[in-house]
Copies of this chain bind each other. A is one copy, B any other.
Amino acid sequence: MNLDTYLVAFEAIGVLAFALSGIIEAARKNFDLVGVVMVGAIAAFGGGTLRDVLLDRRPFFWVEQEYWVWILIAAGLALPFFFRARHIEFTERAMLIPDAFGLGIFAAGGTHIALQVGQSPLIAVLMGVITAVVGGVLRDVLVNEVPRAFHDHQPYAVVAFLGGWLVVLLSYLRTPEYVDVLVAAIAVVVIRLLAVKFRWELTRWRLL
């Protein structure tokens, strides 16, 4: 098992974590089966797709790696039976762990892709943040909620932002590219999990 396989598995965790977050949020809102699958798909693929539209990159990764779509459809069909059989109750807090992995992988990967196509460091980091955050924002808009990433006063997009800069810094070193991405992704995951664990808060902002 070589490093590439690890990276694919790593990416899989990100896609599945975000898909799961969409599926759970839609199911909580009593969406129907189609809605649950769609919100899951949009949460998983929305960020990367917007990044690719902005960078004018084609084909999208879910077009290139079509099996993701099949996995998601299968998951959507299987999950209702699964949940009915088990009476599992997902807590929001349990969700935060896979979500942290998604955040790190997508932020580091998105930044890396934007650097590869020749974007400047700042724009590349923004593309990483977009990749990591937009899926969740669309998920929240579709279930008619205020986006959690903008509202919960926890470091989330900020961690993705820092992780993107780490990719940029590492890209100046002689390390192989996949090491840059892997190190930055792990850093984001660790910082995000620490933030969740110790309930770090962004400075309060009061306008009035």
User: A27-B206, A35-B150, A69-B126 provided; 20 other pairs, C-beta below 8 A?
Assistant: A27-B207, A28-B208, A29-B146, A31-B146, A31-B151, A32-B150, A32-B151, A34-B156, A38-B150, A38-B157, A54-B60, A66-B120, A80-B205, A83-B206, A83-B207, A137-B142, A142-B146, A143-B146, A144-B144, A144-B145
A-B contact pairs, 30 of them (CB 8 A): A24-B207, A27-B206, A30-B151, A31-B146, A31-B150, A31-B151, A32-B153, A32-B202, A33-B202, A33-B203, A33-B205, A34-B149, A34-B158, A35-B149, A36-B150, A38-B133, A38-B149, A49-B54, A54-B60, A63-B120, A63-B123, A66-B120, A66-B122, A69-B123, A69-B126, A70-B122, A83-B207, A84-B206, A144-B145, A144-B146
Within 8 A of B (CB), among A36-92: 36, 38-39, 49, 53-54, 56, 58, 60, 63, 66, 69-70, 80, 83-84, 89-90
Question: Is A7 located at the chain interface by the 8 A CB criterion?
Answer: no
